[in-house]
Structure 1
Amino acid sequence: MRPMLATPAPAPPPGPAWVHEIKWDGMRILADVRGGRVTLWSRNEKDVTASFPELAALAETYEDLLLDGEVVAFDAGRPSFAALAERMHVADRRKAERLSSTRPITFMIFDLLRLFEQDLRAHAWSARRELLERLDLTGTHWQVPPTYADGRQLLAATAEQDLEGLVSKRRGAAYYPGRRSSDWLKVSHRQVVSAVVGGWRPETGNAARLGAVLLGRPGPEGWRYAGRMGSGLAGKPGTAMADLLAPLGRRDSPFTDEVPALDAKDVTWVEPRVVVDVRFLGETGGGRLRHPTFVGVRSDLTADDLAQA
């Protein structure tokens, strides 16, 4: 099952019909607890249980429940996607267990979808939330963060604390798996977008090293070229990116529009399968990202997820 998704909005909606939560800069997870074990599913339905062994103890809480939330890694007291990247790509459980002592994660639980074999998705958010709070799910590596009635105040507070933003939820809303619904609205302080990598260029003076990548975003006819990104890819991130792209080579551009000759110089085209998060300073009139900076690889998203969003 895929999780319900929020629709971007310019500001939180007013009024008592809505409730507001902090938007965590992490990885969306569904935690399925049943039969004395926990299975963790990513947003694109990939089993990521081995990546987060800290959450195995959720099996000791209740016999049967399905939780929705965000896995977060903190750095200097704030959620950091860069810090989480050290954990989310680890598929070896032993390595993940070693990392858990130096880079622990916290599961921010914000929804309850099943309890004691009863499907709760058709129930109103307010009813699901009441049940979730009554479960008293508080542990070393998981918590149920609070909700807030005043969206404007929360938006200001998250800006002051340099947090990602907020999510507003309609109190009477049911849960729609895999759908981007206007019953959930997200307001972000930072301009961060997910894009695919459609090609890479070598580092100046070193043809063997990756220096920049060419980005694509969904368009009406396929992947639209969104600009060249080199910032944030120096050192280990660039090496890791090169390893991901190495088996994806192709002869021609995956973009539906023309890539400027300056950007396409010495490029190696690749199948648009690797999804990355990019921080940027706005867009040009042609839809190119201004000053894009690499944030991290999104192993929890596929190119199809972006195309269908």
Structure 2
Amino acid sequence: MLATPGTLPPAAQDARWAYETKQDGQRAVLYLPGDGTLVLRARSGEDITAAYPELRPLGAALGRVPAVLDGEVLALDDQGRADFQLLQSRMGLAHAPGRAARMAARVPVHLILFDVPFLEEPLFTVAYRERRARLESLALNGPYWSTPGAVVGHGAEALRATREHGLEGVVCKRLDSGYEPGVRSRAWLKIRNRHAEDVIVGGWLPGRGRLTGLPGAVLVGQRSADGRLRYVGGVGTGWSEPERAELGALLRAAEAGVCPFDPVPPVANAHWVLPRLVGEVDYSTRTRAGLLRQPSWLRLRPDLAPQESAADLPEQPA
């Protein structure tokens, strides 16, 4: 069952919804036949059990009760927050069990459990509030897995708390909703916290197909404390067609033969420009290297000079 992007339910309906923290990890469904084993599958259906050997003991923890559990595999940073970049070092190792075991010792994962579509019998038509109670009654809290609580009502406060703690957002789940496998349902709503910052355009990548002749993405940076223009990522969404055409004209007028970023990013087929255009983008989080995750263009900022677009970026080797 998948969540639909949306907004908080109306205040008058707040008490009809539960709110869970949205986690930045790999969605997974666990199949536990009740014999102490488990099979872990990704959204694609791929068997990823071998990629996460530290989760195997969960099969024995549940005992002889057959179940299907829904959750998210996370890698946590030193502050206990989900770090997708860390998790990427663990993903894709389902066919390399030896390497997976070594990585498990270095970057252990943690499984967050949030639903139980099957527990001795199918629970698809059982309301979320009852499924949640049955999941919590299993007391599945161990060294590499846990069942965090959900808040009923108080959606605005829950969303604000995730924002204040630097978390990705919330998932709103209607208390009377069933479990709809394979459906992106309006009974589950996901709300991401987004951040907006000013950036300096230092280059662009040509578009393809219907975007031939136009910028497919702009390459953007921010000034570090030492004055260098540091690359923070590529932005390829957020424009209307007229806005993309206008931006293309501005970029062609600023064409330059030298990369303005220091250090030069490893981006193939880039067209470099004089770093004089300032724009505003929004994004979900930053990687540990300071790159923007899921950035989207908001607007040009002709009212700002390039030197005004500075940021507190992580230190990198010169």
TM-score range, shorter chain: 0.5 to 0.7
Tell me, what secondary structure is at the counterpart of 1:282? Answer: strand
Note closer, same or farther for the CA distance 1:98–1:12 as it changes in structure 2 (3 Å cut). Answer: farther
* Residue identity (%): 34
**Other-structure match for 1:147:** 150
| Structure 1 residue 176 displacement after superposition | 0.8
**Other-structure match for 2:72:** 70
**Other-structure match for 2:53:** 53
| Structure 1 residue 26 displacement after superposition | 0.6
Q: 1:30·1:42 contact (CA, 8 Å) conserved in 2?
A: yes
Work out whether 1:6 is the aligned partner of 2:3.
yes
**Distance in 1 between residues matched to 2:207 and 2:171, nearest whole Å:** 27
Q: Which aligned pairs between 1:240-259 and structure 2 lie closer than 5 A? A: none
Which of 93, 96, 100 is the equivalent residue of 2:100? Answer: 96
Alpha-carbon RMSD across the aligned residues, in angstroms, is 3.7
| Structure 1 residue 164 displacement after superposition | 0.2
Work out whether 1:160 is the aligned partner of 2:161.
no
Structure 2 runs not aligned, ≥5 long: 197-202, 222-243, 256-267, 271-291, 301-318
Q: 1:33·1:66 contact (CA, 8 Å) conserved in 2?
A: yes
Q: Answer with 25-34 or 183-192: which moved more.
A: 183-192
**Other-structure match for 1:306:** none
Letter in 2 for 1:62: G
- 1:212-248: CA deviation from partner (whole Å, max 9, x where unpaired): 97799xx9xxxxx8525688xxxxxxxxxxxxxxxxx
Q: Which aligned pairs between 1:72-221 and structure 2 lie closer than 5 A? A: 72-76=74-78, 77-91=80-94, 92-116=96-120, 118-149=121-152, 150-190=154-194
- TM-score norm. by structure 1 comes to 0.64
Letter in 1 for 2:124: R
Letter in 1 for 2:16: A
Q: 2:7·2:189 contact (CA, 8 Å) conserved in 1?
A: no
User: Which portions of structure 1, spanning 4 or more consecutive aligned residues, are displaced by more than 4 angstroms?
Assistant: 211-216, 228-231, 260-263
**Distance in 2 between residues matched to 1:50 and 1:174, nearest whole Å:** 31
Structure 1 runs not aligned, ≥5 long: 193-210, 220-224, 232-256, 268-276, 286-309
Tell me, what secondary structure is at the counterpart of 1:47? Answer: coil
**Other-structure match for 1:235:** none
Q: 1:12·1:152 contact (CA, 8 Å) conserved in 2?
A: no
Tell me, what secondary structure is at the counterpart of 2:15? Answer: coil
Q: How many residues align?
A: 229
Note closer, same or farther for the CA distance 1:226–1:178 as it changes in structure 2 (3 Å cut). Answer: farther
Tell me, what secondary structure is at the counterpart of 2:131? Answer: helix
Letter in 1 for 2:43: R
Note closer, same or farther for the CA distance 1:41–1:228 as it changes in structure 2 (3 Å cut). Answer: farther
Question: Which structure has the higher relative contact order (CA within 8 Å, separation 6+)?
Answer: 1
Q: 2:204·2:217 contact (CA, 8 Å) conserved in 1?
A: no
| Structure 1 residue 10 displacement after superposition | 3.0
- TM-score norm. by structure 2 comes to 0.63
**Distance in 2 between residues matched to 1:13 and 1:81, nearest whole Å:** 31
Q: Answer with 137-146 or 8-17: which moved more.
A: 8-17
Tell me, what secondary structure is at the counterpart of 2:90? Answer: helix
Letter in 2 for 1:8: P
| Structure 1 residue 121 displacement after superposition | 1.1
Q: 1:214·1:228 contact (CA, 8 Å) conserved in 2?
A: no
Larger Rg: 2
**Distance in 2 between residues matched to 1:139 and 1:36, nearest whole Å:** 15
**Distance in 2 between residues matched to 1:50 and 1:22, nearest whole Å:** 27
| Structure 1 residue 130 displacement after superposition | 1.0
Note closer, same or farther for the CA distance 1:10–1:137 as it changes in structure 2 (3 Å cut). Answer: same
Tell me, what secondary structure is at the counterpart of 1:87? Answer: coil
| Structure 1 residue 50 displacement after superposition | 1.0
Work out whether 1:282 is the aligned partner of 2:272.
no
Work out whether 1:41 is the aligned partner of 2:41.
yes
